[in-house]
Chains A and B, each alone.
Chain A
């Protein structure tokens, strides 16, 4: 009976989200409506949509794993860089986008440099976003398969990336999630995406709060947390500079050093995870790239009436990320305490701790709600990607080659592209699931997960030339520069190694959503 209630909650969520998406996204007569919502979307809805889009299912399940692993809220300090990056984007990047009334950010490159720059970068975006968002579907499909096994079998399930050993169930889950999302995205356009994002953001944050409250109840309150994780009563439970004695000692030991000089301190900063320096350098640049140059994120900002309102949405969303990152990381700390007390369902991998708790421990009803929250985060990210891809394909590629047709024709084209990219994402996600099941160490896995980080960096470079100079940069120069930038990223990144594939899976996937940035040492996978 309990499992039936959870199942019904999830089914109700799916039906409700499609219905609401379709109703709110009616009357899309032009590309202006389909892609920009007529530029009449309230700033707070845009803000909620940014939060929903930047938080993937991998963040929902992976960020608690980080809190569990580090038993510290230091992960949250990455948000400092996130705020700085978005303040720069809000004050420098958004105004030109509104000045030229662009439909995609790549329109700006066309105006500023010429059509070659626009097409090159837009093409990179289409490839990058299809691969990155397709690969991201793996996590919610895993949750869906395991939830199905739980509901049908009625037994406890082992939550791990290796729990499902055949591709078939993954494919069914991937297709189901993508079809539902495609329906309301294709028919409702950006308005449907944004308004369902508002609901999904509430469900995601509400689900996290409920999970934290349930965990606090299970472990016996804050007193138990302070006893099991004493550093939560000290500063270092919240803030890490990277120069703490144990980090310096470990660095010296790992590198066979007898002492530290300036250069070694610089290398230590560059290699440190979750320090204030990671926040200031890595997440600042990462967020500038994600929120200034990735149509997936920028598109919703272009639906606000003015660039000032778009800026308000962006920066407010950044500040909202502080409690969001804190709650997800704190859930990880609570899970550590919980599994100390009751290790029955403790999974092997730290990254699986939240998923195992949701499926095996959460009370009936609440489990259904939190699972709906997982699917909500996945669909919020997916719908954003589909809409951005369809808009870019229509505006940047189709329209310039078929000009002069009625507005309704371009809306139909955008709907066709939404469907096309849905099919492509199913193919990418299916291929990714196949690789995970049959060859979990295969080299392509970290490459696909990190593709956004590899391509967004060079893309950011072009936009920086346009935004920070008045008469520098040209079509020819940009093609040379971006090609060199891609080569440099590949050579200096982790593409030539495969040994870290599994270790990096969850964090890279979580960071690919750009929500709380990524440590520099993993920057090829960020954002």
Chain B
């Protein structure tokens, strides 16, 4: 499981773009309101 630690240590150095975080918030709200369709079939897609 050394791979998981290496990936975590490297990936955590990069910052998530703010627009991705905002979009994730919107997708959570949409998922809460709408019926359960695949993400690619929802209005804004994945």
Contacts and interface: CB of A to CB of B under 8 A. Distances in A.
Contacts of B12: 465, 469, 472-473
Interface stretch (A66-74, A109-117, A313-321): A109-117
Contacts, number: 146
A31 interface: yes
Interface residues of A, number: 55
Interface in A462-497: 462, 464-465, 469-474, 476-478, 480-482, 484-486, 488-489, 492
A458 B6 contact: yes
A458 B46 contact: no
Contacts of B20: 112-114, 474
Given A99-B31, A286-B1, A289-B1, A461 B46 contact: no
Nearest to A460: B4
B5 to A, nearest CB: 7
A118 to B, nearest CB: 7
B40 A100 contact: no
A39 B35 CA distance: 12
Contacts of B28: 99-100
Interface in B1-21: 1-18, 20-21
B15 A482 contact: no
B4 A111 contact: no
A101 interface: yes
A282 interface: yes
A71 B46 CA distance: 52
A465 B8 contact: yes
A155 B17 CA distance: 68
A457 interface: yes
Nearest to A492: B2
18 contacts: A99-B31, A103-B39, A285-B4, A286-B1, A410-B38, A457-B2, A458-B7, A459-B4, A460-B3, A461-B5, A469-B12, A470-B21, A472-B12, A474-B16, A477-B13, A480-B10, A484-B6, A485-B7
- The 9 nearest A-B residue pairs measured at CB: A461-B7, A477-B14, A457-B3, A481-B11, A481-B10, A485-B7, A489-B3, A285-B1, A485-B3
Interface of A: 31-32, 36, 39, 99-103, 107, 110-115, 118, 282, 285-286, 289, 395, 399-400, 403-404, 410, 454, 457-462, 464-465, 469-474, 476-478, 480-482, 484-486, 488-489, 492, 523
